[in-house]
Amino acid sequence: MCTRIVYTSENNKTITGRNMDWADWSKASVWVYPAGIERNGAIEDLPVNEQYSWTSLYKSVTTAAQDAATADGMNDQGLAANLLWLSTSEYPSATTPVQGSPISISVWAQYILDLCKDVHEAIEAMNQVYVITANYPGTTRTADCHLSVSDKKGNSAIFEYIDGVLNVSTNVKSNLNKDCILIDSFTQAQVRVMTNQPVFTEQIKLNYFWENVNEKVYLPGSSQSVDRFVRASFYTKNLIEGNIKEDEALAGVLSIMHNAAQPFVNNSADEEDPNTSITQYTTLSDQEKGVFYFAASRSPFVVWIDLNKISFSQNASENEMGLTLEFEENGTSIKGHPFASGNAIDYLIEKKTFSFLEASMESVSA
């Protein structure tokens, strides 16, 4: 359903790539937010004065789904966040011992991007909150996801709710609430790839097997989550070494994302097997340069946003205004600009930021 990789070169260029695989376009859009925006946890049955709230510390560029949730993005500190489907997720219930305040899954990635500059801070930020799921817009199906974060040093953390408990797999030493599980014994290389099912601690075991066979001959080739994980791990490990140039690094990561992508084929949007959904778009976060790349699968063009060159109107934060790229149906092009490619700063339009999809405390008490 989705694939995420992190590549760090010998000369410390870090790029995070992500494929969004889904049954439809999901009205994807690119949003750029200023620092200083006030947000809350988007819990529908809590009054405003009881909501967990914060003020964003950093600018961020993100992709949004259905103008209701942040799916992935990067902030101006070089921290990237990617929300991927994990159907076995189980979020806290009334019987789960949990500390912190509730936030909707729709705002989870944005919460991290707003407040954290690196993986260490992202892990410790989860001491303040816990996640509640919500129904995917227009359906009765809950949005069940795990979250990956990566910083410009190439560190990663993977956040998963298993049996109602937050599990964090990472290479970074941090402090986490006693009701959570922190597995910080991984190396940086071990946590650079994530797909969908199974949970990460089971995914990583696949590499232990494939490392003992001739990967160049026997790599698995299907679109299933486990096969994508093995291929992406192999190719990321073997990506060009040395003092690689920026354009080579970007092209190398994009080539791996293409290898893990699901083409547009008949019956590829299978509700019974969502992990083989078609790839709708690919994003690349150049975390050293602060440039975010977006490539819709139905478009031959790649566009990018350089966070360092973004400026906002006066009082944009106070007025909850952001900048957005809106796309034609299925992402065939930027609205009104059918052949737009490259630097997309001139195609951004100022717009009131959307309201994040609210979750209900009823899901906790159920």
CA–CA distance, 95 with 342 (Å, rounded to integer): 51
Burial (CB count <10 Å: 0-12, 13-18, 19+), residue 256: buried
* Residue 322 near residue 353, CB atoms below 8 Å: yes
Helix (H, G, I), strand (E, B) or coil at 344: coil
CA–CA distance, 121 with 226 (Å, rounded to integer): 30
Helix (H, G, I), strand (E, B) or coil at 123: helix
DSSP secondary structure of 84-114: EE-TT-----TTS---SEEEEGGGHHHHHHH
* Tally of CB atoms within 10 A around 59: 22
Alpha-helix runs per DSSP H in 261-351: none
Q: Are strands 165-170 and 181-183 parallel, antiparallel or unpaired?
A: parallel
The CA-based dihedral angle spanning residues 300, 305, 306, 311, taken in that order and rounded to the nearest 10 degrees: 150
User: With b meaning 16 or more CB within 10 Å and e meaning fewer, what string describes 319-333?
Assistant: eebbbbbbbbeebeb
CA–CA distance, 27 with 24 (Å, rounded to integer): 8
Active site residue 2: yes
Q: Which long-range contacts (CB under 8 A, 24 or more apart) does 118-122 make?
A: 118/77, 118/79, 118/151, 118/152, 118/153, 118/155, 119/79, 119/149, 119/150, 119/151, 119/155, 119/156, 119/157, 119/170, 119/172, 120/155, 120/172, 120/173, 120/174, 122/79, 122/81, 122/149, 122/157
> Which residues sit opposite 158 in a β-bridge?
148, 169
Of the candidates 320, 322, 281, 287, the residue with the CA atom closest to the CA atom of residue 303: 281
Catalytic pick among 2, 116, 145, 180: 2
CA–CA distance, 176 with 203 (Å, rounded to integer): 23
Active site residues: 2
